[in-house]
Chains A and B, each alone.
Chain A
Amino acid sequence: MLGLAIRNLRRRPFRTGLTLAGLAVSTGLLTSLLAMSDGYQQGLRTELNRMGMQMMLVPLGCPYDAAARVLKGRDLNVTLPESALLDVRADAAVAVAAPMYTAAMPRPASGRTDLWMGIDDSTRELKSWWKFTPGSTWFTAPDTVILGADAAQTEMRKPGDLFYCPEAKKELRVCGVLERTGTSDDSLFFVPLATAQALFHQPNRLSGIAIRLKDPGETGAVAERLQKIKGAQVVTMAEMMGTFLNLLGAARSLVLSIAIVAIAVSLLSVFNTMMASVLERTRELGVLRALGLSRFRSFCLMAAEATLLGAVGGTLGIALAVVGGPFVERTVRPTVPLAPNHGLVPVTLVSAVYCLALSVIIGLGAGLYPAWRASRLRPAEAVREG
């Protein structure tokens, strides 16, 4: 029966091909969407976990915007007084409080903007998972810089090299290069906190303070206490994650509505193909019924053809999502808030199986009525009609 169904589909290769293409596009779209959602959440979770902190203290304003900017090493037009660091460190529940000052360094000659981050030794404690390339050391002097993996590659520098920044009119020695982390750290230029504050003329000012607690279970209580620091506000990582996922959700709803339209179109396409098939094969189906094909088997034959369309179309769609993933990622990444550095559209086995199952269900669903029609054909009339 399955063999017969396959051969029937191959009878009209163009029509079958068009139907499969429709299914493949809609399934591919849906697969990419699901993969993007999974990839974004996974990436964001990984990135936030790798921050090694439970909350951030940022200047008053939009807390999420401030936190995102600090996390991604973007410029903040408001800052915290350095005294806030003392207040944070005074809280007994705080294990590590890592101050940071981030600023953008436009490099018109190179046509790009670099992101600089001033940090102190506590960041090393916070990011204990950082690994350095051979020959690297921590800051040995005020005029030293640690380069992220991508920054080192762009500047073509290794530990021990001199690095002159004409915009800052400053020569720095590269004391260390980070091994690739897969996070935004890869593109950053890390300098001692005081150096960054001096470079950007913001003495004793901070962009934010990353906080790790001794007991993460105390996040709520500590956040409440730190919220009282003047001119500052607390953003927990859980809140940030939720906010970013909400932002993604809006974009995802738009794409999902497109995917639903595509699915509806492919469902109608399969329905149309199967109805056409039943109508043009009326006599043939009548002959089969006359030869003893039962109504149930007649139904199964047509349903099998529709299901096969769904299965093959779904498989092609998943292949399309895998192959087209990088293109989708390039298109989508600029529009996604705080896009994680690692793959944004990774097609996972779960999303692939889910989409394939959906495609098979679409095929079967669209084929039910035509299959029912085929099963209700009266042999005498069907043989006459052909």
Chain B
Amino acid sequence: MASLQARPSCGYSDGWRSLLTNPQSAAPGEPSTGAPLAVAVRGVTKVYRRGIEEVRAIDDVTFDIRRGEFLAITGHSGAGKTTLLQLIGAMDTPTSGSILINGHELADMQDSKLTRLRRDEIGFVFQHFGLLPTLTVAENVALPASFGGKRKPPDVKALLERVSLQHRMTHRPSELSGGEMQRVAIARALVNGPSLLLADEPTGNLDSGTSERIIDLLQSLNGDGLTVVVVTHNEALAAKSDRRLLLRDGKAEG
């Protein structure tokens, strides 16, 4: 059961998805009003097998994320934060329970649909940036747009202006600082116009000054209406979120 130190960001709108009409859909302790749900996590468990040993990385977690919300998932190392983020991001499937993204039940979707969902609805930011070293900044940002689905070429320049890196368009990742690389990764995550931005330790490899800029950027994007979920150890980043979800040994704690 999730313990949500809630700071609701938006008003609740009309009955949006079926899950909202389900009295079991909202987790106890969660604010009952707010924007439509962007993510609904219901009793999700993820079990890994390590040889003969079973590792319960996520253990019966339930919570909602509303549109336009800024959620920070915190917890110590090995608590299951990244696993949970990957489950929300349709990168992995839960052992049991269900996850709905913008009303789509992930368990019902085939790999091709999950891929389209990741491409069109979700933006990912990784701790290790995940930039392709052979591509320029502009090419890295434009890359997900080339995966299909978009007929119009992306406005890479505008995206890089948004992250204040328009002067670095033709540079390679190796010529950038860590903070710059992370901003490129954020611009890349935004290129297909997602409604949900997932960031896994986005400041984990950065110094405090650089982290500050990334936090400001994420907050600014959230201010523009983007739903943001970050996994972080960074207290300053967590403090800027609307809510925190604390994980301990795979369980959401209150």
Contact = CB atoms under 8 A, between A and B. Distances in A.
Interface of A: 1, 4, 7-8, 10-11, 283-284, 287-295, 297, 378-381, 383-384, 386
A4 B91 CA distance: 23
A114 to B, nearest CB: 65
Residue from A8, A292, A295 whose CB has the most chain B CB atoms within 10 Å: A292
A4 B140 CA distance: 11
Given A292-B116, A295-B112, A380-B86, 12 more contacts: A8-B134, A283-B130, A284-B132, A289-B118, A290-B91, A291-B119, A292-B118, A292-B149, A378-B92, A379-B91, A379-B92, A383-B126
A288 B118 CA distance: 10
A378 B91 CA distance: 7
B166 interface: no
A283 B132 CA distance: 11
A7 B115 CA distance: 24
Contacts of B202: none
B80 interface: no
Contacts of B147: 291-294, 297
B149 to A, nearest CB: 8
Nearest to B82: A384
A295 B128 contact: no
A380 B83 CA distance: 8
B144 interface: yes
Interface string B119-134: 1100010101010111
B115 A295 contact: yes
A297 B92 CA distance: 19
A4 B132 CA distance: 10
A287 B198 CA distance: 13
A364 B185 CA distance: 32
Given A379-B91, A383-B126, A292 B134 contact: no
A10 to B, nearest CB: 7
Nearest to A382: B91
A293 B115 contact: yes
B120 A386 contact: no
A291 B114 CA distance: 11
B95 interface: no
Contacts of A283: 128, 130
Contacts of A288: 143
Nearest to A381: B92
B134 A287 contact: no
Contacts of A384: 82
A380 B82 CA distance: 9
A350 B82 CA distance: 57
A294 B91 contact: no
Residue from A7, A288, A297, A383 whose CB has the most chain B CB atoms within 10 Å: A383
A201 B204 CA distance: 102
B133 A291 contact: no
A291 B118 contact: yes
Contacts of B134: 4, 7-8, 10-11
A298 to B, nearest CB: 9
Interface string B132-171: 1111000000011011110000000000000000000000
Contacts of A10: 134
B115 A292 contact: yes
19 contacts: A4-B143, A7-B134, A284-B130, A289-B91, A290-B91, A291-B118, A291-B188, A291-B189, A292-B149, A292-B192, A293-B119, A293-B147, A294-B147, A294-B148, A378-B91, A379-B86, A380-B91, A383-B86, A386-B128
Nearest to A8: B134
Contacts of A292: 115-116, 118-120, 144, 147, 149, 192
A287 B91 contact: no
B61 to A, nearest CB: 16
Interface string B84-97: 00100101100000
B205 to A, nearest CB: 14
Contacts of B89: 290
B143 A291 contact: yes
Nearest to A376: B111
Contacts of B146: 1
B192 A11 contact: no
Query: 6 closest pairs, A vs B, by CB?
Result: A292-B119, A287-B130, A380-B92, A7-B134, A379-B91, A380-B91
Contacts of A294: 112, 115-116, 147-148
B87 to A, nearest CB: 8
Nearest to B145: A292
A11 B124 contact: no
Contacts of A379: 86, 91-92, 118
A59 to B, nearest CB: 73
A31 to B, nearest CB: 32
A292 B144 CA distance: 7
